Amino acid sequence: MELEYNIIDIHKREIYPAKVIIEGKMIKDIIRIQKVVGNYIMPGLIDSHVHIESSLCTPGSFAMAVVSRGTTGIVSDPHEIANVMGLEGIEFMLKDAAKVPLKVWFGAPSCVPATAFESNGAVIDHTDLDKLLKRKEIKYLSEMMNFPGVISEDKDVLKKIMVAKKHGKPIDGHAPGLSGNDLKKYIDAGISTDHECSTLEEALEKLSKGMKIQIREGSAARNLDALKSLLNSHPEELMLCSDDMHPEMLAKRHINKVVSQLVKEGFDMFDVIRICTLNPVKHYNLDAGLLQKGQAADFIVVEDYMSMNVLETWINGEKVFDRGQTLFKYENKECINRFNASEISERDICIKRNGSEMRVIEAFEGELITKEVFLTPGKGDIVKPDIQNDILKIVVKDRYKDMPPSTALIRGFGLKKGAFAGSVAHDSHNIICIGTNDKDIAAAINLIIRLKGGLAVAAGTELYSIPLPVAGIMSEKQVNIVASEYEKLSQLVKSMGCTMSAPFMTLSFMALLVIPELKLSDKGLFNGKIFNYVPLFKD
């Protein structure tokens, strides 16, 4: 097969008309031609760090969505399902991804459980990681979120790192705000990347100490604007990633739109394409083609590199997307799950006053980081939400051991009535809910318990939900269907006063203990800076 387009050659850093000759899965030859041709051909795009589960869809459904955006491969960390289902969950992801042509390179989750300060569904130790990392489809040790364990030289943590080194596979990092000697110790342990930088200063320090920076532009955390100037100084040490992308955004864009934005803003086009093609291939040793003779025929055809409107996507010499149509089929009927929780009552989430000042989680738009603030809400023996001052109740109910729920206060969501909840709560995926009153909070949580996983909204007698039967975190439906349902549910929450642009996504991170400062687990309030529990009422 022969194709003639303007080739965007990231190796020679030039654009020229060429004939691309494909034989089987490979590019047999690329020959310059002297004729005017239309459209552009370039290497397929690679997302260097993503959790498929955050799309609320299975790997196959995810693939059907992203090939239309020019994505030919993703570096995927399955620690969300691993924290729910352990090795069984990882096997499900591998099996499901194998049904579709998208290249999915999985990592071996390093933090299952994510911390010892919450309930989860499984344990993956260094012996399990040894077995996983032997496999060719497992390319790296997934993000080492337990940075305090690395710094303190925790024996179990170091054993996991040594296993990755034994197999010669890179180790991903997760170190929000880490700096100075602690950062040096973390990097010296062998950790090579970080996708948590939110400021230029933080990224520059990590780069200076030898880390590669993955610039994240997802649904809840968007760091592109803060970090994009690094393209002018460190193009060889950067990658692009989405990290967590919810279905309504995935249905509209992926890495292609980030490329378009950067090129339109005047950044060097070859450097921009490099950070989502060549750089991740080199770092993770990926079996991806980069539009060179003798490599896999993984490439895309676009109208132009400014708009990045994708016309065709090719993987291993097979056209998988053509002008609006995905050319492969996918179906999933397997629903693995782990859910053991009984319904709660309003009494279970009552907060009895035990002092004046209380610790309150302060959340921010577009950020995973929260702050710890001290407030004195209301009066009386029972602490109630103060809707006028945006002080709401947050509840986390474990779904594995059926223990009593944990309750605290939060501000920043702006909700004026009702409650909304989900069993997508990073990383252990217990049930998390924010609400204005106990009746609606209990109703939303109990609906999720009856569904054995999902998203729910309660407002008086009205109940709305999206079932997530696969591990309680994914739907068996296609992305466009889930996206439509998800967007309707999100709009409903916004109509109830919520000011967050991605309410469910932001909610899901309010239980992520490894991101400072104050979060809530099913076992209580947790301060990520001291990496320990703190009391609800000020001492």
Q: Give Cα 495 distance to the centre of its chain.
A: 26
Secondary structure percentages of the chain, helix, strand, coil, to 5:
30, 30, 40
Compute the distance between CA of residue 252 and CA of residue 23 in angstroms, rounded to an integer.
33
Model confidence, pTM: 0.92
Please list, in sequence order, all residues whose beta carbon lies within 8 angstroms of the beta carbon of residue 427, skipping any fewer than 6 positions away: 79, 80, 83, 111, 113, 114, 120, 145, 512, 514
Residues 115 and 236 in one domain: yes
Residues 259 and 405 in one domain: no
Start-to-end CA distance of the chain, whole Å, equals: 73
- Tell me, yes or no, whether 505 lies in a domain: yes
Residues 248 and 350 in one domain: no
Which residue, chain included where needed, has tokens 């990097």?
Answer: 187
Residues 127 and 209 in one domain: yes
Residues 234 and 353 in one domain: no
Which residue, chain included where needed, has tokens 């532009």?
Answer: 217
- Tell me, yes or no, whether 21 lies in a domain: no
Do 427 and 80 contact (CB within 8 A), yes or no? Answer: yes
- Tell me, yes or no, whether 334 lies in a domain: no
pLDDT at residue 219, as a whole number: 66
Residues 360 and 464 in one domain: yes
What is the mean pLDDT, run by run of 10 residues, along the chain of 539 residues? 96 97 97 93 98 95 96 97 97 97 98 91 97 96 93 96 98 94 97 95 97 88 92 97 88 92 97 98 97 98 95 98 96 89 97 92 90 90 94 97 96 98 95 98 98 97 96 94 95 97 92 92 94 90
Residues 186 and 101 in one domain: yes
DSSP-assigned letter for residue 404: P
Last residue of a domain, one of 259, 286, 313: 286
Residues 363 and 273 in one domain: no
pLDDT at residue 220, as a whole number: 63
Compute the distance between CA of residue 108 and CA of residue 141 in angstroms, rounded to an integer.
5
Residues 242 and 359 in one domain: no
Q: Give whole-number Cα distances, 98 to 44, 92, 232, 296, 439, in Å.
A: 19, 10, 38, 17, 44
CA atoms in the 13 A half-sphere facing the CB of 177 = 10
Residues 502 and 407 in one domain: yes
- Tell me, yes or no, whether 244 lies in a domain: yes
- Tell me, yes or no, whether 87 lies in a domain: yes
pLDDT at residue 380, as a whole number: 86
- Tell me, yes or no, whether 154 lies in a domain: yes
Smallest Cα–Cα separation from 492: which of 395, 411, 420?
A: 420
Compute the distance between CA of residue 223 and CA of residue 144 in angstroms, rounded to an integer.
20
- Tell me, yes or no, whether 303 lies in a domain: no
Residues 241 and 352 in one domain: no
The CATH number covering residue 217 comes to: 3.20.20.140
Q: What is the tally of structural domains in the chain?
A: 2
Q: Give Cα 90 distance to the centre of its chain.
A: 16
pLDDT at residue 332, as a whole number: 84
Last residue of a domain, one of 254, 286, 318: 286
220-243: pLDDT as tens digits:
678 999 999 999 999 999 999 999
pLDDT at residue 379, as a whole number: 83
- How is residue 2 written in tokens? 């022969």
Segments forming the whole domain that contains residue 249: 45-286
Last residue of a domain, one of 245, 260, 286: 286
Give me the amino acid identity at 242.
S
Do 297 and 316 contact (CB within 8 A), yes or no? Answer: yes
Residues 375 and 252 in one domain: no
- Tell me, yes or no, whether 262 lies in a domain: yes
